[in-house]
Structure 1
Amino acid sequence: MPPETTSETTYGLSPVHASASTLLATNAPTTPPPFIPVTQTPIPSTALAERINEYARSHLPEPTYNHSLRVYHYGLAIKQYRFPAWNFTDETYLLACLLHDIGTTEENLHATKMSFEFYGAFLALDVLQKADTGPDAPKEQAESVAEAIIRHQDLCEKGRITALGQLLQLATIFDNTGLYADLVHPSTIDDVSLHFPRLKWSHCFASTIHRELEIKPWAHTTALGIEDFPSKVLSNTLMSPYE
């Protein structure tokens, strides 16, 4: 029988291990990841997905927008390979990917004293639920996306996180640092990078980290290491051929 579907599973609110290492050690596969091209992980054509995609395209710098879509395609490739039982909608995951870095724009960094993930989650809730035109997201879907955005840099070894949040973490850290290279086929990386070029993303993101810490030296990003994290971003050897 297929797994029971509820609003929690549909929107990715099922609890999973917060520790990626613990999660990935469970039921480890015996086969390598398959090649999953972009054509096999299409962007949903729902009115909500199209509205948020246009919002992200118009508000994010091109390198950040491309990163957001790489995270979408890498995440779905990881999900198909390692977590096929996670049956939250592609639409919900796309919304989280498109909005997870909305707090990093120069305007939004200066709009608040809050860390970019937290402020970005508030912005996401507002954008998802208060549309001038087009559909609003259901409340639970919007809250799941906001939860995932708040915690997408919260790399814990204890406790739980939502399935949506864990996938967003895995895919962002994969694109940003090259960690968990064994989760994605090299040809998938080739194809995703061809469709959504990095445009020197490693340097762009490292500069954004330094920019936030210059403005807000208390920011949550410091939990990843004030110097260690940007260093890992800049030494991303897995993605360096695509920079």
Structure 2
Amino acid sequence: MFPETPAAAAALSVATRFCSPALFNHCVRSYLWGTMYGTAHGIAFDDELYYVSALLHDIGLTEAFDSHRLPFEEAGGQLAWVFGMVAGWPAERAARVTEIIILHMRDDVSPAADPESHLLQVATSWEVVGRRPEEFSPDARAEILARYPRWGFGAEFLACFEDQARRKPDSAAAASVRNDVAGRIAANPLESCPPA
């Protein structure tokens, strides 16, 4: 189900150690939703690169790695570059994981231009605000949420974004707060799924 490489195992260890249970499950679900979407649409992607990006994409929201100056996706992307280099990746591959993490909070990227960034954008926008619900069947939702419950993810994530917005008013997180991310999180169909 998950890539079996040293870098993938290390990313899992990092996410397990530093993310809250709700944030960790969100990262794993983001990988699963993205691979499901990619497979359904015939999008070829680098599984290890996407997995590491998905597992680390919100590491900049954690207490240990929150930057007081950089937006969380930029701080997390830079940390992911360090991770990639320590994992023995070439500099270009480490730079790709940085790019994917930063782009997940930017304007939509096409699958032809950057499949991994596209998948992470689709998966995280579904996870957080319920975008593209037609892509994820009720059976798939039930199966993934049974294995990786939300455990109050919506409220925890909103609190993180509101905190980012207060401290970093020019960030993408702040723009999301101004654009009613609270209302969109509340309306997300995943928020109304029964807890496991």
TM-score by length of 2: 0.91
| Cα pair distance change 1:210/1:76, threshold 3 Å | same
Contact 1:198 1:242 in 2 (8 A): no
| Match for residue 10 of structure 2 among 51, 59, 66 | 51
Aligned to 2:37: 78
Match of 1:92 in 2: 49
Ranges of 4+ aligned residues in structure 1 off by more than 6 Å: none
Where do 1:177-188 residues align within 5 Å? Answer: 177-188=129-140
Query: Alpha carbons of 1:204 and 1:161: their partners in 2 closer, same or farther (altered >3 Å)?
Result: farther
Write out per-residue CA displacement over residues 198-238 of structure 1, whole angstroms, 9 at most, x where no aligned residue: 00111111111111112222222233352512321122134
1:194 paired to 2:121: no
Residue 123 (1) aligns with residue 79 (2): yes
C-alpha distance in structure 2 between counterparts of 1:175 and 1:72, whole Å:
11
Say which structure is richer in helix.
2
Structure-to-structure mapping, 1:161-172, within 5 angstroms? 162-172=114-124
Q: Which residue of 1 aligns with 2:64?
A: 107
Structure 2: 5+ residue runs without aligned partners?
none
Distance 1:54 1:47 in 2: 11
Deviations 1:101-147 (A, max 9, x none): 000112333x33011011111011011212xxxx4223222211111
In structure 1, runs of 5+ residues without a counterpart are 1-41
User: Which residue of structure 2 lines up, in the alignment, with residue 60 of structure 1?
Assistant: 19
The alignment's TM-score, normalised by the length of structure 1, stands at 0.74
Instruction: Describe the SS at the equivalent of 1:239.
Output: helix
- Larger C-alpha radius of gyration, 1 or 2? 1
Greater RCO (CA < 8 Å, at least 6 residues apart): 1
8 Å CA contact retained: 1:129, 1:136: yes
1:231 paired residue number: 183
C-alpha separation between the residues in 2 aligned to 1:43 and 1:242?
Answer: 25
User: How much is the aligned-residue C-alpha RMSD, in angstroms?
Assistant: 1.9
Does the CA contact (< 8 Å) of 2:38 and 2:44 recur in 1?
no
- Aligned-residue identity in percent: 26
